[in-house]
């Protein structure tokens, strides 16, 4: 072994002999929200990203931003919609290109949604593959076998896609490389009592994994708020 080789860190010297795989640099896809991209870097290709939060926390609005940003880059996207919570009208108003989106409606059947996401990941050719679990009862979502999340993680790591899971809770757990928790900061209304009209909302994303101090805030107009 040469002196130059001995000067390298120990893991680099022994990896070739033990068969360790060297991690390739991870490419991040920008979400299209400056504060979110600065906080977490965006959504990593070949990894699982997770967006969680209660209803009206901005989780769907963030998903729309991610899909819209991918469409602007000329990438095709796919969405497995477990409970029919995806609204194409609102999505299109948020900038999502429906012409480049494959939308699989699963009618509330969790098993169908998980199998659809698996097929989409293995099919390749997508910049973003999303699994939307919003609208499912938590007691049902908690029954999703952990084997699914490990299968998704293995499937996406061999692709150039970013796999994004959206739901009430962080279901993917340790299989997610990036995890953000959403919350609503404020809602703005116009009109007078009893007729109020939602004008817009401000949402906030906190980084759970990897943990980063601070939050990412963004505003959404009423038509896009979700």
Enumerate domains of the chain plus CATH numbers: 36-184+199-224 (3.40.50.300)
Closest residue by Cα to residue 104 from 83, 125, 135 = 83
At 214, which helix (H) or strand (E)?
strand 212-221
Cis before 72 (ω within 30) = no
Looking at residue 32, its pLDDT comes to 86
Q: Which pLDDT score is estimated for 225?
A: 56
For residue 104, what are its two tokens?
């699989």
- Please identify which residue in the block is written with the tokens 């050719």: 125
CB of 194 closer than 8 Å to CB of 65: no
Residues 106 and 82: beta-carbon distance below 8 Å: yes
d(CA 127, CA 144): 25
- Neighbouring residues of 159: CB distance < 8 A, sequence distance ≥ 6: 45, 46, 121, 124
Instruction: Pull the structure tokens for residue 189.
Output: 């209304």
Alpha carbon distance, N-terminus to C-terminus of the chain: 60
**Cβ atoms of residues 68 and 94 within 8 Å:** yes
Model-level pTM?
0.85
- SS3 category, 212: strand
* Confidence class for position 17, pLDDT limits 50, 70, 90: low
In terms of Cα–Cα distance, which of 66, 6, 44 is closest to 162?
44
Can you give the pLDDT at residue 204? 95
> Cα separation of 190 and 124, whole Å?
45
Q: Which element (helix H / strand E) includes 217?
A: strand 212-221
Residue 44: pLDDT band with limits 50, 70, 90: very high
The answer, yes or no, to whether residue 99 has pLDDT greater than 70, is yes
Quick one: average pLDDT of 88-104? 95
Full DSSP string of 169-204: S-TTGGG-SEEEEEEEEEEEEEEETTEEEEEEEEEE
For the stretch 105-161, pLDDT in tens is 999 999 999 999 999 999 999 999 999 999 988 888 888 999 999 999 999 998 999
Percent over 70 (pLDDT), the chain: 87
Q: What is the DSSP string of 36-57?
A: HHHHH-SEETTSEEEEE--TTS
pLDDT above 80 for 14: no
């Amino acid at each position: 072994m040469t002196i130059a080789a001995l000067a390298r860190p120990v893991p680099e010297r022994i990896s070739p002999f033990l068969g360790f795989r060297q991690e390739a640099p991870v490419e991040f896809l920008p979400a299209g929200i400056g504060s979110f991209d600065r906080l977490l870097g965006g959504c990593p290709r070949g990894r699982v990203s997770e967006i969680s939060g209660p209803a009206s926390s901005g989780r769907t609005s963030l998903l729309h931003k991610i899909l819209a940003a991918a469409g602007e880059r000329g990438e095709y996207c796919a969405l497995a919609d477990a409970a029919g919570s995806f609204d194409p009208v609102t999505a299109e108003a948020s900038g999502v290109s429906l012409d480049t989106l494959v939308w699989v409606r699963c009618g509330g059947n969790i098993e169908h949604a998980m199998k659809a996401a698996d097929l989409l990941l293995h099919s390749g050719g997508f910049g973003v593959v999303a699994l939307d679990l919003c609208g499912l009862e938590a007691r049902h979502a908690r029954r999703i076998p952990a084997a699914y999340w490990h299968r998704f993680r293995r499937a996406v790591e061999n692709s150039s896609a970013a796999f994004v899971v959206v739901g009430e809770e962080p279901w993917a757990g340790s299989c997610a490389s990036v995890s953000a928790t959403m919350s609503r900061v404020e809602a703005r209304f116009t009109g007078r009592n009893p007729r109020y009209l939602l004008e817009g909302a401000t949402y906030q994303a906190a980084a759970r994994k990897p943990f980063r101090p601070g939050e990412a805030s963004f505003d959404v107009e009423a038509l896009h708020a979700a």
